Amino acid sequence: MQKRAELYRGKAKTVYYTDNPDLLILEFRNDTSAFDGLRIEQLERKGMINNKFNHFIMNKLAIAGIPTQVEQLLSDNEVLVKKLAMIPVECVIRNRAAGSLVKRLGIEEGRVLNPPTFELFLKNDALHDPLVNESHCRAFGWATTEQLERMKALSFKINTILSELFDKAGLILVDYKLEFGVFNGEITLGDEFSPDGCRLWEKETLKKMDKDRFRQGLGGVIEAYEEVAQRIGVVL
């Protein structure tokens, strides 16, 4: 499948049209951003790792019955996906307190959240991706009640599948962000699942193995991503 015109260049990926109007190519770049794009650095190999990581995870989810965008891995940095009409909110599931939840509510980092929480954030860098609720989504036309119900149910189902997968690899899935879109009327998982958009802690040591290493200047970012990939069986 040939790349055609660029549709969108985001902070970490570039999206291209293809000859098929229903399909796009996502190109994973090495750009690594934090603080709503305020800080951007190139991390060698990151594009390749996240592309293969994402493909591996989305395949697992598809096998478990989750509708996903993935069509075919094309190269180290490219994947062919369904062209979704993206819903402009991010769905965040948390199994432990970390990140913005800790700051916003003063909860101690690492506290187990049982049941896990489900939050919605508007995708808008200029507004720093504010927390929104379901009535905002309905009132502003971002998602319907039915779409919200489906996104929530899929997010929790994905939590069950992935928490087990990472647990078996000696890792805690602390939290993660998902983006959904609509394809042929069906809510479908889009964007990516990679250590850029989730928090993973080593079970024994609670060592951070995700993008927090970049956000917090801890070093060893790519080494951590590679270690996680290797532990869950991603072939790099």
Residues that bind ligand UDP in the complex, under the rule CB under 6 A = 90, 92, 98-101, 129, 175-177, 197-199, 211
- Provide CB contacts within 8 A for 127, sequence distance 6+: none
Stretch that binds ligand ADP, among 9-17, 39-47, 59-67, 159-167 (CB under 6 A): 9-17
Partner from ligand UDP, ligand ADP, none contacting 10, C-beta within 5 to 8 A by type: ligand ADP
Stretch that binds ligand ADP, among 6-14, 97-105, 147-155, 208-216 (CB under 6 A): 6-14
What DSSP designation does 208 have? B
Residue 10 within binding range of ligand ADP, rule CB under 6 A: yes
Q: Decide: 182 and 176 in contact? Cβ < 8 Å.
A: no
Partner from ligand ADP, ligand UDP, none contacting 175, C-beta within 5 to 8 A by type: ligand UDP
Alpha-carbon span 108 to 94, nearest angstrom: 13
Min dist CB 50 to ligand ADP, Å, is 10
What DSSP designation does 106 have? -
Q: Which residues pair with 119 in a beta bridge?
A: 92
Q: 19: which 2 tokens?
A: 């000859």
Q: Decide: 161 and 85 in contact? Cβ < 8 Å.
A: no
Partner from ligand UDP, ligand ADP, none contacting 13, C-beta within 5 to 8 A by type: ligand ADP
Partner from ligand ADP, ligand UDP, none contacting 221, C-beta within 5 to 8 A by type: none
Residues 76-115 interacting with ligand ADP (rule: CB under 6 A) = 81-84, 86
Q: If phi over 0 gives left and psi between -120 and 50 gives alpha, with beta otherwise, what is residue 141? A: left
Min dist CB 42 to ligand UDP, Å, is 19
Min dist CB 83 to ligand ADP, Å, is 5
Q: 25: which 2 tokens?
A: 């190519």
Partner from ligand UDP, ligand ADP, none contacting 83, C-beta within 5 to 8 A by type: ligand ADP
Contact track, ligand ADP, 122-161, x by CB under 6 A = ----------------------------------------
Amino acid of residue 184: N
Output 74 or 98, the one with its CB closest to ligand UDP: 98
Alpha-carbon span 33 to 73, nearest angstrom: 24
Q: What element of type H or E holds 151?
A: helix 145-168
DSSP string, 7-33: EEE-SSEEEEE-SSTTEEEEEE-SEEE
Chain residues that interact with ligand ADP, rule: CB under 6 A:
8, 10-13, 15, 24, 26, 69, 81-84, 86, 179, 181, 190-191
